[in-house]
Amino acid sequence: MTSSRKVRIDAFPDSAFRYLHRWTIVCVDVITSGTTAVTAVAQGRRTFAAGDVAEAFRLAHVAEGTLGEGSMRFDVAQSPAALARRSDRRPLVLVDPPGTRLLANCRGGRDVYVACLRNVTATVELLAGRGHDVVLLGAGEGADFRCEDKMATARLGASLVARGFVPDGHETADTIKRWGATDTALLGWGRSAEHLRRSGHSDDLEFVLGHVDDLDLACRYVDGEIAPARPGPAAVRGPLPLEGEAAI
């Protein structure tokens, strides 16, 4: 592979339309849809992402035995911590905008992947073996490119640069420099983390913080479904604890 491959960092669901035909797209939503989706795939579930509730009902008919079928209990599907505690392996339909809306907007893209803090290394290793330019898209929230998504996209970007990719533009280079080596504990001070606490979902924040680069699993998105990009079960590296803390 040559060093002419580029990596760009961008954000927000509508940005996806700019990259569908030439770029490999990696969709990132750390809190919470990306982490939930990657966790579900690691469990061996068929996993679907819907941009809105109407699409979720359509995808539910595709996935027989969908989690929450009938009552459509998407509150369960939005929680990676709750999902990790389940022992069943029924298919999952996830509707959690803006993260799943970002994925829905990527329909028709050449190659689309899903990443979070759990599968940074696995995703980078897959992308580094291919000859395409890569755009890392954070889901954001409104007009806010959230800190946890900056952190994850920057980590992905920094690792790709180390493997010969070139940052595409000053904004990408600056994001990688500022966020690529940031301590993940800092995302606990972000707006998304505060929202989780206020809504009684501190366990999801603990799950995100306690599961950093612990899965050898790259995930690909095709026609509404998220699945392993490579055959075989996901290998668990083991959660990487924050300094001075035990992993959950």
Residue 219, beta-bridge partner list: 114, 228
Give the chain's length. Answer: 248
Tokens 């979902």 -> residue: 201
pLDDT (tens, 9 = 90+) of the chain, 248 residues, equals 445 899 999 999 999 999 999 999 999 999 999 999 999 999 999 999 988 888 888 887 776 544 443 444 433 457 999 999 998 888 889 988 899 999 999 999 989 999 999 999 999 999 999 889 999 999 988 889 999 999 999 999 999 999 999 999 999 999 999 999 999 999 999 999 999 999 999 999 999 999 999 999 999 999 899 999 987 666 666 544 333 333 22
Q: Which residue type occupies 48?
A: F
8 A C-beta contact, residue 214 and residue 240: yes
Give the β-pairing of 6-11 and 166-167: parallel
Spatial distance between the Cα atoms of 73 and 122, rounded to a whole number of angstroms: 31
Spatial distance between the Cα atoms of 237 and 216, rounded to a whole number of angstroms: 7
Comparing CA positions, the residue from 208, 197, 97 lying closest to residue 151 is 208
